[in-house]
Amino acid sequence: MATIDNDVDSVKKIRGELLDTVDDLQEQLKKTDAAIEEVAAVWGDSQFVKFKEGFEQDKDVINPLCKDIEDFEGDVLLPLENILRRYLEL
């Protein structure tokens, strides 16, 4: 059975962890993209081209996922935290 977490600190912690994860993922994507572009300048065999295309497809999935996570944090978890604060009079 599903339960609802009504601990404000837990909700706040989850919000922070989600945002930190998105930031870390976006930073790693930038670093990886830059490294791939650097390698692409000197190495263009068919296997590398295939790898690069796969990475571009992954980015097309990861970037919207990051946006969805940010939206969930701001549109669902933040309002939930605010409701809990009012309910618990914190």
Pick from 21, 50, 24: nearest CA to 36: 50
What does the buried/exposed string (b/e) look like for 19-54 if buried means 16 or more CB atoms within 10 Å of the residue's CB? eeebeeeeeebeeeeeebeeeeeeeeeeeeeeebee
Cα separation, 6 vs 90, whole angstroms: 12
Per residue in 14-67, pLDDT (tens digit) is 999 999 999 999 999 999 999 999 999 998 789 999 999 999 999 999 999 999
Predicted TM-score of the model (pTM): 0.80
Sequence-separated (6 or more) residues with CB below 8 Å from residue 12: 81
